Amino acid sequence: MQQEPANPPGNTPGNLSLILGIVSFAITFVPVVGELVAVAVALSAITLGLIGFGRSEKGLADNLGQSIAGIFLGAVVILIALIFLAATMTHRP
């Protein structure tokens, strides 16, 4: 009896996208450098999510939901970082 591989070859970008999305969300709330690091990780999550999405659409991967979740988390992190940036950059005379 043959065992199928636990992770089909095309699923890696989608899996990494979700992992990086979660990590970037956690890093966002670290004071001072968190936003800068989180945005870089979030951009990686979005990029890998788009690659995973494309592979899922072509039938080369079966984790479309993970790719979409990684894209969504990456976008949310960038939005949160922009809100934090706007809140800290307000000028008070």
Note down pLDDT in tens along the chain; length 93 residues: 666 656 566 788 999 999 999 999 999 988 777 888 999 999 999 999 999 999 988 888 888 999 999 999 999 999 999 998 888 887 666
Decide if 70 contacts 20 (C-beta within 8 A). yes
Is residue 38 in some structural domain?
yes
Residue 2: inside a domain, yes or no?
Answer: no
Residue 4 lies in a domain: no
**Tally of structural domains, the chain:** 1
Question: What is the span of the domain harbouring residue 80?
Answer: 13-88
User: DSSP string covering 2-60, please?
Assistant: PPPPSS-GGGHHHHHHHHHHHHHHHHHTSTTTHHHHHHHHHHHHHHHHHHHHHHHHHTS
Tokens 């992992």 correspond to 19
- Burial class from Cβ neighbours inside 10 Å (0-12, 13-18, 19+) for residue 72 reads middle
Residue 6 in domain: no
> Does some domain include residue 8?
no
